[in-house]
Amino acid sequence: MAAKKERTAISPTRAENFPEWYQQVVKVGELAETSPVRGCMVIKPWGYALWENMQRVLDRMFKETGHVNAYFPLFIPMSFMEKEAKHVEGFATECAVVTHTRLTMREDGTLEPDSPLEEPLIVRPTSEMIIGATYSKWVQSYRDLPLLINQWANVVRWEMRPRLFLRTTEFLWQEGHTVHAFAEEAWEETERMLGLYAEFAEDFMAMPVVRGEKTEGERFPGAERTLTIEALMQDRKALQSGTSHYFGQKFARANDITFLDPSGEEVHAWTTSWGVSTRLIGGLVMTHGDDDGLVLPPRLAPVQAVVLPVIHQEATRHQVLEFCEALKRELAALRWRGEAVRVEIDSRDLRGGEKMWQWIKKGVPVRIEIGPRDLASDSVFVGRRDRSPRDRYSQKRGEFIESLAETLEEIQNHLFEKAKAFQDSHTRVFDDRDEFYRFFAPQDSQRPEIHGGLALAHWCGDPEVEARVGEELKVTIRCIPFAENRNPGRCIFTGRPSPQRVIFAKAY
C-alpha cells in the first residue's frame, strides 16, 4: 500500500524523475535558465548571488595561500593547440572557433561573416596553452618562482547535451596556474589546492566529498596526475566537483618554461593547475535540494533569513511593516561566523502562502512570518528550511534574535550531517563481481531506487578492465581514494593483485 502522498512544491519529485526534478528546482529556485544560444545559460540574480558568495570565499582562501589574480586572453591561436597532443585530443572536438572579424550586410538586410582571419582563434576551453606562452617569458630565474596565479574567467566547451550548471557550453570558473622550481613543491601545491577545495565543499557547501586521485583514463588531458573531489548526489551518481593537476615538467616542455637554477643551469619548471566552476551550483542543488525546491547552506545563501510581513487588513499594515523593519535592522546587526547576517524583507503584496512558498523554493535557511497577532505577543513565527514547511513554531522576538546565529549554525551542520549519512549509507564495499554488477544494474525493476552509489572494489589497474566496466555498466572509476586503507587484495574482475580498493560510480 502506498503511503498517502503529500503535496510538494516540485513536480515530479526526486523519486519520480530525478533529472526533471533537477530542472524544475533550478527553474523555480530562480538560479538559471536556458538562453537563445544553444548550450549557454543565463545565470539569474539569485543564482549569481550564490556564485558571488562562492567566489568571495574561494578568492579569500586562494589569497590566504599566497595566490594573486590576473587575467589572460579569451582567445587562443589555433597553432597553440598543436603543441601538446593529449591536450588537443581532449579539447579539439568541443571548441568554438573564431574565423572572421567582421559582418557584412547582404542586399536583403541579413548579415554574413567577412574579413577571414589568417589563423583562426579558439575560445579558451581552458587556459594552459595561452598562460604557458606567457609564463615562458615571465619565468627566467629561480628567483621568479614560485609563480602562484589564479584567474576568474568564462570558458567554452561545445556541449551536445547541455544541462544547466552541470554541462553548459559556456561556464564560469576559476583556474589556478602555478610554476615551481621543484617537483616536490609543485606536488605539494597540487595537494594543497585539492585540500582547499575539499574544505570549501564540506565547510561551506555542506557537501561531503571523497578525496582521491584519477586513474590514467580519467586524467586531465596532458596532466601527469589529477586529484579530484567527488560528491555523491541524491540520485546516487557522483559529481566531480573540483580537480587539481600535477603536470610534472610536461607543460613546461611544451611551452618552453625554463629557469636558471642557483648554479646557473637551465631547467624546465614544474607546473600545476586547478579549478572549480559553476558546476558546483549543480552539486549544491543535487546534494541538499528536496521535493519543495532548493535548500541552501547558510554560509553561502544570498539571504540567510527573510522577514515576511503578513498583512490581512489595511488597518494593521503600517504597524506590521514597522515591526518587520525594526526586526530586520536588529537581525542585520547580528554576526555569524565573522560576517554580518544577510537579511531581507519581502513586503510585496502577495498572498502570504504564495510569498512563503517562493522563499522555500529559493532555499532560504530561515523564514520569519509576522502578522498582527505576533505584534501583540511580541513574537515571531519561524520556519526552517531544513525542516518540513509545516513544521513552524512561534518564538519570543528577543529569544529568536538571540538564537539566530546558533540556528544558522545548526542548519549548516544538519545539512552536512544529512548529506554525509546519505553518502555513508550508499557507499558499499564489494568483493564479488556479480554483486557489484547487481548494484549498478538491478534485476528488480520494481525497486530501481535501491541501486547504485559509491562502490569500493579492488581493481588490478588494467585500463581495459576499466573501459569494459564503463561500457557494460556506464560506471567509471571516480578515484583512487586517499582515505581508504591501502590494503592490497585481488581485482574483483580479473583476480589479479590490486594495491588498494578504488571507487566506482555512475557519474555526471
Q: Select 15 or 42, whichever has its Cβ closest to its own copies.
A: 42
> Is residue 80 near its own copies by the rule CB under 8 A?
yes
Looking at 11, 16, 37, 421, which residue binds its own copies (CB under 8 A)? 37
At its nearest, how many Å lie between its own copies and the CB of residue 348?
Answer: 8
Q: Is the dihedral of CA 351, 356, 49, 95 positive or negative?
A: negative
Looking at 12, 120, 195, 489, which residue binds its own copies (CB under 8 A)? 120
Q: Select 91 or 323, whichever has its Cβ closest to its own copies.
A: 91
Take residue 176 and report the three cell numbers written for it: 589556478
Distance of CA 139 to the CA centre of its chain: 32
Q: Looking at the chain, how many residues does it have?
A: 508
At its nearest, how many Å lie between its own copies and the CB of residue 151?
Answer: 9
> Is residue 53 near its own copies by the rule CB under 8 A?
no
Q: Are 467 and 217 in contact (CB under 8 A)?
A: yes
> Is residue 162 near its own copies by the rule CB under 8 A?
no
Looking at 3, 110, 263, 391, which residue binds its own copies (CB under 8 A)? 110
* Cα 365 from Cα 435, distance rounded (Å): 40
Q: Which position has the grid cell 574561494?
A: 58
Q: What is the DSSP letter of 114?
A: E
At its nearest, how many Å lie between its own copies and the CB of residue 405?
Answer: 24
> Is residue 44 near its own copies by the rule CB under 8 A?
yes
> Is residue 62 near its own copies by the rule CB under 8 A?
no
Q: Which of residues 463-482 bind its own copies (CB under 8 A)?
A: none
Q: Select 94 or 424, whichever has its Cβ closest to its own copies.
A: 94
Count the site residues for its own copies by CB under 8 A.
Answer: 62
What own/partner pairs with CB < 8 Å and gap ≥ 24 does 334-341 have? Answer: 334/401, 334/404, 334/405, 335/405, 336/298, 336/304, 336/404, 336/405, 336/408, 336/409, 337/299, 337/408, 337/409, 341/304, 341/305, 341/404, 341/405, 341/408
Element (H, E) at 245: strand 238-248
Looking at 12, 17, 23, 73, which residue binds its own copies (CB under 8 A)? 73
| Interface map 243-282 toward its own copies (x if CB under 8 A) | ----------------------------------------
At its nearest, how many Å lie between its own copies and the CB of residue 444?
Answer: 42
Stretch that binds its own copies, among 42-50, 371-379, 434-442, 500-508 (CB under 8 A): 42-50
- Computed on alpha carbons and rounded to an integer, the radius of gyration of the chain in Å comes to 26
At its nearest, how many Å lie between its own copies and the CB of residue 70?
Answer: 5
Take residue 113 and report the three cell numbers written for it: 561573416
Task: For 273, list phi and psi in degrees, rounded to 5.
Answer: -150, 155
* Cα 315 from Cα 375, distance rounded (Å): 14
Looking at 21, 48, 323, 359, which residue binds its own copies (CB under 8 A)? 48
* AA identity, residue 354: E
For residue 22, give the 3-state DSSP assignment. helix
> Is residue 103 near its own copies by the rule CB under 8 A?
yes
> Is residue 76 near its own copies by the rule CB under 8 A?
yes
> Is residue 446 near its own copies by the rule CB under 8 A?
no
> Is residue 335 near its own copies by the rule CB under 8 A?
no
Omega cis (within 30) before 365: no
Q: Select 67 or 214, whichever has its Cβ closest to its own copies.
A: 67
At its nearest, how many Å lie between its own copies and the CB of residue 21?
Answer: 23
At its nearest, how many Å lie between its own copies and the CB of residue 58?
Answer: 14
Q: Helix 279-288 crosses helix 397-425 at what angle (to 10 degrees)?
A: 100
For residue 412, give the 3-state DSSP assignment. helix
How far the first Cα of the chain sits from its last, in Å, is: 34
For residue 104, give the 3-state DSSP assignment. strand
Q: Which of residues 166-225 bind its own copies (CB under 8 A)?
A: 170, 172
> Is residue 82 near its own copies by the rule CB under 8 A?
yes
Q: Where along the sequence are the contacts to its own copies (CB under 8 A)?
A: 35-37, 40-45, 47-49, 51-52, 68-82, 88, 92-105, 109-111, 113, 120-123, 130, 133-134, 149, 153-154, 156, 158, 170, 172
